[in-house]
Amino acid sequence: MESRVSRYLPYLAFGLLALFPLTESTFYMQLLTKVLIMAIFAMSLDLLVGYTGLVSFGHAAYFGLAGYALALMSPGYDAVSLWWTLPAAVAVCALFALFTGMLVLRTRGIYFIMVTLAFAQMLFFVFHDTKLGGGSDGAYIYVKPSMKLGDFELANLEKPAQFYWLALFLMAATYLLLHRVLGSSFGRALLGIKVNEHRMRALGFPVFRYQLASFTLAGSLAGIAGYLAAMQYGFVNPEILSWHQSGAVLMMVILGGMGTLYGAAIGSFAFIVLQEVLSNQAWFGAWAKHWQLAMGILIMLVALYLPQGLAGLAQKFRGKPAPEAADE
């Protein structure tokens, strides 16, 4: 049971984050926007890895697909409306997740990891080899989508602060939605499936349908993140759905502590800050170019010595038992 304090902690965090633009530091605001976007992405993967027991190594497919959907829907110099492009991008991801989910969920364990990776790679080649999204050069999003109610401009997303608030709003919405879903009987059933699939099947739960629903929801939420990321950078190329992206987001989930939604957010924060620090030329000089070496070693250390991530570490210090280990 969660205590009263921890129940209100997320709202406090969202409130404090909402005040950040008052610092007027555009650089850090943009960095934090990236963290918020990756937090949405990481939470969506945590739904699969931490709560449904499905290790997907191709989650970047949905992230990148939504980015490409936005790029294809806004080819010109006129702002498209966010009201229909965001739902449309998410719907594309949901459909693709539903389709791939039906195939990949026929497999388990090592197979599942490889097959999710292979499908993501297939999408990579679709965008890399065909002219659809500009091939390996990618495509530009010249103007960020608009948010208008009639003639009234609700937000101007070209302004970093307003874009930041949109990302924060969607991140908070994703968190609350997932919190709700996981607390429902559906979420309990998912956890049951994670622990023992055969028992849940014997109890009469339609395991496949539950997993497919979870897989589709995770893909759709990753789509929200991908849409925002494409909007932030103003361009997409096949790299955004490459397996390095899938690996990075998996690292964020584990680093923060899987099976805890806030852990995914902490993990994306830690990962992005680390990336910024390690690739800082002023501090590391020539080694900054090789920041992935330090990152790689760090990832290996986390895999070996910090299986429950930072959230597990915090709980250990507070003397609580770590959340249930993710053993077989």
Partner 1 sequence: MDFAFFLIQLLNGLQYGLLLFLVASGLTLVFGIMGIINLAHGSFYMVGAYLAWSLAGMTGNLATAILLAIPLTVVLGMALERLLFRHLYQRDHLYQVLLTYGLILVFEELRSLIWGDDVHGVAVPALLNASISLTENLSYPVYRLAISGVCLLLAAALYFLIQKTRLGMMIRAGASNRDMVQSLGIDIKLIYTLVFALGIALAAFAGMINAPLSSVFPNMGSSVLIICFVVVVIGGIGSVKGAMAASLMIGLAETFGTVLVPEVAGMIVYVLMAIVLVWRPQGLFGKA
Residues contributing to the site for partner 1 (CB under 8 A): 49, 55, 57, 103-104, 106-107, 109-111, 113-115, 117-119, 121-122, 125-126, 128-130, 243, 247, 250-251, 254, 258, 290, 292-293, 295-300, 302-304, 307, 326-328
As measured in angstroms, the least distance from the Cβ of 214 to partner 1 is: 16
Closest approach, Cβ 13 to partner 1, in A, equals 26
For the chain, helix (H) and strand (E) counts, in that order, are: 14, 4
Measure the CA–CA gap between 90 and 82, rounded to whole angstroms. Answer: 12
> How would you classify the pairing of strands 139-140 and 235-236?
antiparallel
Q: Can you state the angle between helices 243-256 and 26-46, rounded to 10 degrees?
A: 90
Nearest to 204, CA basis, from 191, 188, 189, 187: 189
- Comparing CB distances to partner 1, the nearer of 101 and 223 is 101
Tell me the closest approach of the beta carbon of residue 30 to partner 1, in angstroms.
Answer: 25
44 vs 74 by CB, closer to partner 1 = 44
Minimum CB–partner distance for residue 136 and partner 1 (Å): 11
Please say which residue, 57 or 227, places its beta carbon nearer to partner 1: 57
Residue 191's contacts (CB-CB under 8 Å, 6 or more residues apart) are 51, 182
Pairing of strands 235-236, 147-149: unpaired
Q: Which is nearer to partner 1, 21 or 53 (CB)?
A: 53
Q: What is the DSSP letter of 81?
A: B
Return the number of the residue (4 or 131) whose C-beta is nearest partner 1.
Answer: 131
Q: Which residue has the tokens 């969202």?
A: 14
Of 145 and 257, the one with the shorter C-beta distance to partner 1 is 257
Question: From the CB of 293, what's the least distance to partner 1, in Å?
Answer: 4
Q: Cβ of residue 183: shortest distance to partner 1, in angstroms? A: 24
> Alpha helices of the chain — where are they, by DSSP H?
4-19, 26-46, 60-73, 82-104, 109-129, 160-183, 185-195, 197-202, 207-233, 243-256, 261-278, 281-284, 291-305, 309-317
Token pair of 292 as six digits: 């992935």
Token code pair at residue 60: 């970047």
Nearer to partner 1, 2 or 328 (CB): 328
8 Å CB contact between 73 and 88? yes
* Smallest gap from residue 282 Cβ to partner 1 (A): 20
